[in-house]
């Protein structure tokens, strides 16, 4: 007699099941089950994982689900064939789409319409009523089900250890015989082992929003809902052997496997009756001729032929056509896009225009990206302008229809902090304890359980509750919590998508997604296309538009002149503020050392400053070898892999290849290794792979130290994997943005400002940088500015850049539209603006931004006028000036203006704030940042500036990098970990930071190694207040010159303080990056 468990709730029934599908399947395999069903609540979300795990363990799963109905008893549904599966999937889709995200509204009638080919088990009420019988309504329900499902209906019989199990089963059996609906034994499994009951109780608490102490009867009295062995089930159902036999009967009938799902690409993309391959071939050659001319280079012809042959072999033609279709739409709409990913950098893609990376620059073999052995679908991600990606997404939905296209789901998992919070809350820990706990818990490791970190936080690591919390947290980590939508991964099918998988609503309007995530669809061999958003593309497109308008250039990603030495010179100087990817502090300091001279150097540059290579200690060896150190390869076979990067693994592909070639991994294992790093570090897989990789490499004669570094690097790749193919696509954007910056800094600055927020820098730095490159900048003005920043006439070599209203904080685009449409001729008074319909608040903001200069008012006078604008002449007196005595306001100093510029636009064209206190700084022997160039290495210096960026990368062992800026430029500070702790207050609080330290020079890169820090922010206060006495006060007499009293102890005079306080806050706090 064979028992098959038919009622299994996994943790994809969120906050209900307490085991992963993998765990349940493994447990079933351990009990020698040949099959096990997975029946999540109104969902198929967990079945793929179960399927994959079952395959690996040599059993099979029965894809099924539990249908919780609004107007009937729950039904377990088991499709027996692909057709039946399709129907159930359509049923779930129906329920999903009529409910909000995360819910599924189903009625029994819906089930009747989709029941063909499926077996059903009805789940009876858990207990009998007072007269030891089932409610008559349930009997009625059964009758109705029976009349619809006929012989495909069963009743679930479960032993719950409720005390009256025998009575219950006896009654159930009576009912079953009376209605001729056979009994089936199930165990209503919620977890794979009884020990998981505790976690299940916690999940119940999270779901019911209560604590374990108050949960009461919402919990279950015992732990019987775990998976049990066949023998145990047989024993429990000794009196009802038929119920056991029937599980086998159902399992036997349900032979449908997810393997049968055949994914088919849409076919409507061909023209003139060609087959997909013919179409692709046609388009590829057509594109090739367009790019290279009739006289195709031999190399291209071979490459195209080779690739097409490969595509034919793998049957990927449709995939390429689909991508091509989307890209073509974007291009028609003038949306800039760029493909990346394993297949994107092929010659065919270049000919189709999917990528602009010229394959001849880049002699990579196609198969290096797509390995037929791995049988993994090609991977093409397409980046679009971030402001216009939605258009592309809606195009896809529209073209293929919502029933055929949907976004892939992402499974939001319980992360460390979230899991800790959930468990802690459910265990009734106080908010305070919880926050202390979560601040002391960085990583779940043995250290934690030893408890030294906990003790530091004043927690007792031997506390039983605390121990339990940590143990349960560890179990909960990695649990799926909800299904979200992937950033842009689309699945598009030939037939109905719901034939393959239930579709559901996403939280965002107009979006639908499927229940499976990218790993799931990978496992089933579905292809997905990533439609992603990239800010830099928006910026580049805006730059192209400006270049067209002002310089009459028709630029595209493909036609920017390549290999321009002037551009590389600029890059080598690290003059890269605003440039894609290589603008960060770390990148900037790498550039002069790496000295990129060709396209491939940029590819390396993009990939090298990443956690992977840094954690793997690969950066310095690479730089040394580049500067002439002899390259040695650990072995001949690795030379092939590592040749292009001088023997140092920098790319993800290389690390994986090493695992295959040097450590004897199969390609599939290597892939699993990469994935295990990316998803979760808890599951013990990492240690397994670590042993395997290092062991394997040592066995093959590599040094252990080297092996360890390779592994470390792989670990780093986990979260930020950076494959060569992606680096290549990014490098192109690096080059293009550098080229624009190099030749058209006006266009570049304008485009970046109009695409903000993006990148690493604030508008102030972009503006300063543009000035440095001889671009004239003009302030916001009501008579000249538009919403966007714009280029006016040529002032020198370049066009002058007029700041737009978008730079002014708090202005709304609609208000500016009103202003611009009213601007038929130059405005001459504020009343005209107010008559045009601009609100007082808007006018105040414009005044604050000092935008009335063209009508002869500075910000203060403008504000004086504006503040009276609500009270203006109307009716017949309209347009008349307000009769008012002339009142003279105190004049504003330049420094005060600068402060206010910073308040309203975060930048000032008038002067740099630090310039006003230079004199004071000089008295303190503080040097300007531009003087650092001339000071010799090792000198002790003092330098001060506004804090732009503070960075404490996880890879830098607690070292903090700070960039400060004064009126002459920027300085880079390095604060070592010990000092950071000592001066954290100064570092974190200062707007104006002064440091003492030693100058260090490495090539052209200058650092200040900080010894001491001081907070000089109070100097900024004086920009507005202390100068007051010296200012002419025209008409208002002042009795005496006593200034506002200065507080002598903290807390006193808070309100008087408040004013000067806010002035410090005007200056950007500086950005913190991890």
> In the window 411-470, what residues touch other proteins (CB under 8 A)?
427, 431, 465, 468
- Minimum CB separation of residue 160 from other proteins in Å reads 8
> Residue 874 CA to chain centroid, in angstroms?
54
Neighbours of 102 (CB within 10 A): 13
Whichever of 565 and 883 has its CB closer to other proteins, that residue is: 883
Q: How far apart are CA 518 and CA 410, in angstroms?
A: 7
Question: Residue 768: which of 946, 566, 961, 956 has the closest Cα?
Answer: 946
Tell me the CB-side half-sphere exposure of residue 483, using CA atoms within 13 A. Answer: 29
- For 556, the 3-state DSSP assignment is coil
Stretch that binds other proteins, among 210-218, 676-684, 713-721, 933-941 (CB under 8 A): 210-218
* 1047 binds other proteins, rule: CB under 8 A: yes
Among 197, 528, 674, 952, binds other proteins (CB under 8 A): 197
Name the burial class of residue 852, with classes exposed (0-12), middle (13-18) and buried (19+) by CB atoms within 10 angstroms of its CB: buried
Q: How far apart are CA 371 and CA 133, in angstroms?
A: 63
Q: How far apart are CA 184 and CA 188, in angstroms?
A: 12
Q: What are phi and psi of 558, to 5 degrees?
A: -85, -25
Per-residue binder mask for other proteins (CB under 8 A), 846-875, x = binder = --x----------xx--xx--xx-xx----
Among 209, 332, 1055, 1074, binds other proteins (CB under 8 A): 1055
Q: How far apart are CA 785 and CA 804, in angstroms?
A: 5
Name the burial class of residue 707, with classes exposed (0-12), middle (13-18) and buried (19+) by CB atoms within 10 angstroms of its CB: buried
Per-residue binder mask for other proteins (CB under 8 A), 373-412, x = binder = ----------------------------------------
Whichever of 455 and 1054 has its CB closer to other proteins, that residue is: 1054
Stretch that binds other proteins, among 150-158, 480-488, 949-957, 1038-1046 (CB under 8 A): 1038-1046
- Minimum CB separation of residue 889 from other proteins in Å reads 5
- Minimum CB separation of residue 244 from other proteins in Å reads 16
The interface with other proteins within residues 128-147 (CB under 8 A) comprises 130
* 900 binds other proteins, rule: CB under 8 A: yes
Stretch that binds other proteins, among 164-172, 383-391, 653-661, 940-948 (CB under 8 A): 164-172
Among 884, 919, 936, 1030, binds other proteins (CB under 8 A): 884
- Minimum CB separation of residue 563 from other proteins in Å reads 48
- Minimum CB separation of residue 888 from other proteins in Å reads 10
Task: Specify whether the CB–CB gap between 868 and 843 falls below 8 A.
Answer: no
Tokens of 873: 């002449």
* 561 binds other proteins, rule: CB under 8 A: no
Among 16, 139, 164, 832, binds other proteins (CB under 8 A): 164
Among 140, 147, 161, 813, binds other proteins (CB under 8 A): 161
Whichever of 496 and 1069 has its CB closer to other proteins, that residue is: 1069
Whichever of 433 and 754 has its CB closer to other proteins, that residue is: 433
CA distances from 67 to 70, 72, 381, 532, 783 (A): 10, 10, 37, 35, 65
* 586 binds other proteins, rule: CB under 8 A: no
The radius of gyration computed from the CA coordinates of the chain, to the nearest angstrom, equals: 34
Contacts of 577 (CB under 8 A, 6+ apart): 583, 761, 765, 766, 769
Handedness of CA 710, 711, 713, 717 (dihedral sign): positive
Question: Residue 19: which of 49, 61, 64 has the closest Cα?
Answer: 49
- Minimum CB separation of residue 480 from other proteins in Å reads 23
191 secondary structure, DSSP code? B
260 secondary structure, DSSP code? G
Whichever of 262 and 985 has its CB closer to other proteins, that residue is: 985
Stretch that binds other proteins, among 365-373, 722-730, 749-757, 1058-1066 (CB under 8 A): 1058-1066
803 secondary structure, DSSP code? P
Stretch that binds other proteins, among 409-417, 886-894, 992-1000, 1005-1013 (CB under 8 A): 886-894
Task: Specify whether the CB–CB gap between 380 and 341 falls below 8 A.
Answer: yes
Whichever of 561 and 1051 has its CB closer to other proteins, that residue is: 1051
Per-residue binder mask for other proteins (CB under 8 A), 960-999, x = binder = ------------------------xx--xx----------
* 1050 binds other proteins, rule: CB under 8 A: yes
Whichever of 347 and 1024 has its CB closer to other proteins, that residue is: 1024
Among 558, 889, 935, 959, binds other proteins (CB under 8 A): 889
DSSP assignment of 817-863: HHHHHH-SS---SHHHHHHTT--HHHHHHHHHTTTTGGGT--HHHHH
Q: How far apart are CA 1063 and CA 1067, in angstroms?
A: 8
Task: Specify whether the CB–CB gap between 49 and 524 falls below 8 A.
Answer: no
Per-residue binder mask for other proteins (CB under 8 A), 224-263, x = binder = x----------xx---------------------------
Handedness of CA 213, 216, 219, 222 (dihedral sign): positive
Whichever of 195 and 447 has its CB closer to other proteins, that residue is: 195
């Amino acid at each position: 007699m064979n028992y098959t468990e038919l009622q299994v709730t996994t943790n994809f029934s969120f906050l209900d099941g307490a085991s992963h599908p993998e765990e349940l399947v493994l447990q079933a395999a351990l009990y020698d089950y040949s099959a096990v069903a997975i029946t999540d609540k109104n969902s198929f979300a967990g079945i793929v994982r179960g399927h994959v795990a079952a395959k690996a363990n040599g059993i099979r799963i029965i894809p099924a689900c539990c249908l919780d109905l609004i107007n009937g008893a729950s039904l377990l549904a088991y499709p027996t064939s692909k057709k039946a599966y399709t129907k159930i999937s359509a049923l779930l889709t129906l329920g999903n789409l009529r409910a909000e995200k995360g819910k599924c509204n189903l009625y029994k009638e819906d089930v009747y319409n989709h029941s063909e080919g499926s077996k059903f088990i009805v789940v009876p009420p858990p207990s009998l009523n007072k007269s030891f019988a089932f409610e008559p309504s349930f009997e009625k329900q059964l009758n109705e089900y029976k009349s619809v499902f006929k012989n495909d209906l069963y009743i679930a019989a479960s032993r719950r250890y409720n005390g009256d199990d025998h009575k219950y089963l006896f009654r159930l059996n009576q009912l079953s015989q009376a209605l001729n609906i056979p009994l089936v034994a199930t165990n209503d499994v919620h977890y794979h082992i009884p020990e998981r009951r505790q976690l299940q109780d916690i999940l119940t608490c999270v779901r019911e929003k209560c604590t374990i102490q108050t949960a009461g009867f919402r919990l279950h009295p015992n732990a019987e809902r775990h998976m049990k062995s066949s023998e145990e089930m047989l024993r429990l159902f000794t009196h009802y052997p038929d119920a056991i036999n029937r599980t086998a009967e159902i399992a036997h009938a349900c032979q449908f496997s997810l393997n049968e799902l055949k994914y088919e690409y849409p076919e409507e993309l061909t023209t003139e009756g060609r087959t997909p391959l013919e179409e692709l071939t046609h388009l590829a050659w057509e594109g090739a001729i367009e790019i290279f001319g009739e006289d195709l280079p031999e190399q291209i012809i071979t490459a195209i032929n080779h690739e097409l042959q490969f595509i034919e072999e793998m049957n990927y033609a449709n995939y390429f056509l689909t991508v091509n279709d989307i890209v073509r739409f974007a291009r028609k709409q003038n949306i800039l896009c760029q493909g990346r990913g394993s297949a994107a950098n092929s010659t065919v893609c270049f000919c189709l225009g999917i990528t602009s990376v010229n394959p001849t620059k880049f002699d990579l073999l196609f198969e290096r990206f797509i390995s037929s052995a791995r049988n993994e679908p090609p991977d093409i991600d397409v980046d679009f302008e971030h402001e216009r990606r939605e258009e592309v997404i809606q195009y896809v939905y529209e073209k293929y229809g919502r029933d055929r296209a949907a976004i892939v789901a992402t499974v939001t998992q319980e992360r460390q902090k979230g899991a800790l919070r959930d468990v802690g809350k459910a265990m009734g820990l106080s908010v305070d304890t919880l926050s202390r706990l979560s601040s002391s818990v960085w990583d779940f490791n043995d250290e934690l359980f030893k408890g030294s970190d906990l003790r530091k936080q004043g927690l007792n690591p031997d506390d039983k509750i605390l121990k339990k919390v940590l143990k349960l947290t560890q179990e909960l980590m990695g649990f799926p919590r909800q299904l979200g939508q992937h950033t842009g991964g689309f699945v598009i099918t030939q037939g109905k998508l719901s034939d393959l998988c239930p579709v559901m609503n996403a939280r965002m309007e107009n979006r639908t997604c499927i229940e499976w995530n990218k790993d799931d669809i990978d496992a089933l061999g579905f292809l997905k296309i990533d439609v992603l958003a990239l800010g830099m593309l928006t910026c580049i497109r805006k730059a192209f538009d400006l270049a067209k308008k002002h310089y009459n250039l028709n630029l595209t990603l493909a036609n920017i002149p390549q290999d321009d030495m002037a551009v590389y010179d600029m890059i080598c100087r690290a003059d890269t503020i605003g440039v894609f990817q290589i603008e960060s502090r770390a990148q900037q300091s790498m550039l002069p050392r790496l000295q990129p001279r060709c396209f491939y150097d940029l590819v390396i540059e993009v990939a090298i400053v990443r956690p992977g290579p840094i954690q793997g200690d690969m950066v310095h060896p690479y730089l040394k070898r580049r500067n002439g150190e002899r390259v040695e390869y650990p072995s001949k076979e690795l030379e092939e892999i590592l040749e292009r990067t001088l023997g140092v693994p920098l790319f993800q592909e290389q690390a994986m290849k090493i695992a295959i070639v040097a450590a004897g991994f199969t390609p599939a294992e290597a892939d699993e290794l990469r994935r295990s790093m990316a998803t979760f570090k808890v599951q013990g897989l990492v240690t397994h792979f670590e042993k395997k990789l290092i062991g394997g490499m040592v066995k093959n004669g590599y040094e252990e130290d080297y092996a360890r570094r390779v592994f470390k690097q792989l670990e780093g790749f986990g979260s930020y994997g950076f494959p060569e193919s992606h680096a290549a696509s990014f490098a192109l954007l690096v080059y293009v943005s550098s080229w624009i910056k190099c030749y058209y800094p006006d266009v570049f600055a304008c485009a970046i400002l109009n695409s903000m927020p993006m990148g690493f820098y604030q508008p102030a730095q972009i503006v300063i940088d543009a000035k440095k490159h001889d671009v004239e900048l003009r302030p916001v003005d009501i008579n000249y500015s538009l919403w966007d920043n714009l280029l006016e006439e040529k002032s020198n070599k370049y066009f002058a850049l007029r700041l737009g209203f978008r730079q002014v904080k708090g202005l709304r685009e609609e208000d500016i539209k009103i202003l611009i449409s009213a601007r038929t001729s130059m405005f001459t008074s504020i009343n005209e603006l107010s008559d045009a319909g601009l609100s007082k608040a808007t006018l105040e903001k414009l005044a604050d931004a000092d935008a009335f200069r063209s009508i002869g008012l500075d910000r203060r006078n403008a504000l004086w006028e504006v503040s009276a604008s609500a009270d203006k002449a109307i009716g017949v007196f309209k347009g008349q000036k307000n009769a008012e005595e002339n009142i003279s306001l105190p004049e504003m100093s330049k420094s005060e203006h600068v402060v206010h510029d910073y308040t309203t636009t975060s930048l000032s064209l008038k002067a740099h704030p630090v310039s006003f206190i230079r004199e004071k700084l000089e008295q303190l022997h503080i040097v300007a940042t531009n003087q650092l160039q001339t000071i010799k290495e090792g000198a002790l210096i003092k330098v001060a500036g506004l804090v732009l960026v503070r960075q404490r990368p996880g890879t830098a062992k607690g070292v903090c990098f700070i960039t400060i800026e004064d009126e002459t430029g920027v300085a880079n500070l390095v604060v070592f970990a010990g000092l950071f702790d000592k001066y954290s207050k100064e570092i974190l609080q200062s707007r104006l930071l002064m440091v003492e330290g030693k100058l260090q020079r490495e090539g052209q890169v200058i650092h200040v190694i900080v010894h001491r820090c001081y907070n000089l922010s109070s100097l900024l206060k004086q920009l507005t207040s202390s100068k007051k006495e010296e200012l002419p006060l025209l008409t208002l007499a002042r009795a005496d010159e006593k200034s506002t009293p200065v507080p002598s102890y903290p807390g006193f005079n808070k309100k008087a303080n408040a004013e000067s306080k806010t002035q410090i806050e005007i200056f950007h706090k500086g950005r913190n990056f991890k």
